[in-house]
Structure 1
């Protein structure tokens, strides 16, 4: 079976063509509706990488990447909400048995949608969220600067740093509760529709059985680094959507450049060890941004004055492209990107 013929790729295309793309401009100006998330749940895409034993599809990485490209190119806001779910699924697969047996099946089957509240760990040695032992469980204090999917997610994977320098990940319900308060939804230049808030933690207590993972911060950071230097499939998906707005004479050369970067980035992801070729992966990530910028700019230029209307697909894709420049950004990737822009 080829990647393009995989049933989940076909479902993603159907979802994109029939629901996401036709409503993308409306969603962009409002918010991701519950109906979009219900459709994603029914599609089976939330179980994309989950083990079959728990009701998932255990799809290979090329399938997951193609699904991400399709969804991001159709409606980046909906893609961004549902993509948060796959990290908690992966954490459960490797996590503590108690929480895995309680949550992995419902999450693999799409009965529960999870968000993530852990990007702040990349700010270390700053510790925006601190975790201490209390009453046989764990107390969380601090601020989660970004949490996406508020009001849509059922659960969240929350992380903080312990006094012993461990990264600790635990699950809790994605709702206001004692010790957890959400800000009003953020107004952003792009993906406001994804319902992003900040979370204030003031003594949120979670039991030991909610913990999925405790590991030395340095070990977690080493495992996390490949994710932050690798080109995102969403970048390729949004770029392809922008190229679809152009005539072939303009799109052709850009499509060739895009394919070259994508093919090499995906080849490294599939063939190399997780921590191999990290410098080249980062260089390819930056090149993917270059092509994305060229593609979305060309779409705006080709659209002329009409491209500045909020009903224009071109301007939406350009703003989504700007968002993707900083999504998953770290100090390392920021320095490398700025250096590349200045050279």
Structure 2
């Protein structure tokens, strides 16, 4: 038997020794800095970095995400924000890469992201203009996860020229940047998610790490919103582990088939092909996750209605994942599947 990749082994150790035993408490009280310190030390924050910085193949990144999400989705969600900044720096050149890529890959810094609002284009919730030799940001970031836990953030907006622009800044209140109180959410309140108000927030030009015409950026982003998330498979596996074999077996067989095809397409050399099939698989993965977490609730009986119940937590996390990373296109496909299932 081939030994697992070292990062997969690290993820299993964290999941079994730290994350899963405390997941219900974290769900109610918040992701502790100690969880993130353990992840920083593990090497897992480098998984999307170039190999010389400790990076690993995409299959390893997916497997570690499944393991962490299935153990404690709130902790997974905070740390998963870090991987887009690392990947963005990995594909860039300039002072931001030189200054940040090493510390981020080594876990010396933890990054969040403030860019999902770009998917609302042509609406521009965050506008970027030139100002005093740098860039001025104005508008509202509706969602920012990990406030008070992250060191830096990757902030994005749209320029007057229709470019998507990304820049790094410290993840703290500054002149022109103000955070809301942490949001009370039906699931993943523990992730310390806030909104950010930007009113003349200024950054120097050297903070900019990426600037591309919006349509070019959207073309690279689009496959991310149609591929099935490894976290969905992780939550589903955690729910299936709570069921007896007769109930779990058909759901697990369906999950295995969907995951194999979804990951095969994720590794396809042309990411813009098979978009409809990718979206169908994403929707089917959500359906299996919903069935598995609902079955875990039913199997748990009345105890499942307590907020400290594992089936209850998994069911709420499943609801969250069904809307996380959602676009108009993915929402439409999921709604159509829900309606057709009633026929």
1:141 aligned partner? 138
Q: How many pairs were matched up?
A: 340
Equivalent residue for 1:107, pick from 104, 122, 144: 104
1:285 aligned partner? 282
Q: Return the alpha-carbon distance in structure 2 between the equivalents of residues 12 and 116 of structure 1.
A: 22
The 5 Å alignment of 1:29-44 reads: 29-44=28-43
Q: Return the alpha-carbon distance in structure 2 between the equivalents of residues 320 and 26 of structure 1.
A: 14
Q: Compute the displacement of 1:88 (Å).
A: 0.3
| Residue 122, structure 1, aligned to residue 119, structure 2 | yes
After superposition, the C-alpha distances for 1:227-258 in whole angstroms (9 at most, x for unaligned) are 00000000000000000001111111110000
CA contact (8 A) 1:96 1:211 kept: no
Q: Return the alpha-carbon distance in structure 1 between the equivalents of residues 322 and 23 of structure 2.
A: 20
**Segment of structure 1 superposing worse, 265-274 or 302-311:** 265-274
Q: Compute the displacement of 1:338 (Å).
A: 1.0
2:47 aligned partner? 48
| Residue 269, structure 1, aligned to residue 271, structure 2 | no
1:195 aligned partner? 192
CA contact (8 A) 1:96 1:213 kept: no
**Segment of structure 1 superposing worse, 15-24 or 330-339:** 330-339
CA contact (8 A) 1:121 1:161 kept: yes
When the two structures are superposed, what TM-score results if normalisation uses the length of structure 1? 0.98
| Residue 236, structure 1, aligned to residue 233, structure 2 | yes
CA contact (8 A) 1:230 1:282 kept: yes
CA contact (8 A) 1:49 1:64 kept: yes
The 5 Å alignment of 1:198-277 reads: 198-277=195-274
Secondary structure of residue in 1 paired with 2:49: coil
Structure 2 gaps, min length 5: none
Q: Compute the displacement of 1:78 (Å).
A: 0.2
Secondary structure of residue in 1 paired with 2:267: helix
Q: Compute the displacement of 1:272 (Å).
A: 4.3
2:158 aligned partner? 161
1:25 aligned partner? 24
Secondary structure of residue in 2 paired with 1:59: coil
1:336 aligned partner? 333
Q: Compute the displacement of 1:71 (Å).
A: 0.1
Q: Return the alpha-carbon distance in structure 1 between the equivalents of residues 93 and 182 of structure 2.
A: 32
Q: Return the alpha-carbon distance in structure 2 between the equivalents of residues 64 and 227 of structure 1.
A: 14
Equivalent residue for 1:79, pick from 72, 76, 80: 76
Secondary structure of residue in 2 paired with 1:150: coil
Structure 1 gaps, min length 5: none
After superposition, the C-alpha distances for 1:4-43 in whole angstroms (9 at most, x for unaligned) are 6100000000000000000000000010000000000010
Structure 1 runs of 4+ aligned residues shifted over 3 Å read none
| Residue 303, structure 1, aligned to residue 303, structure 2 | no
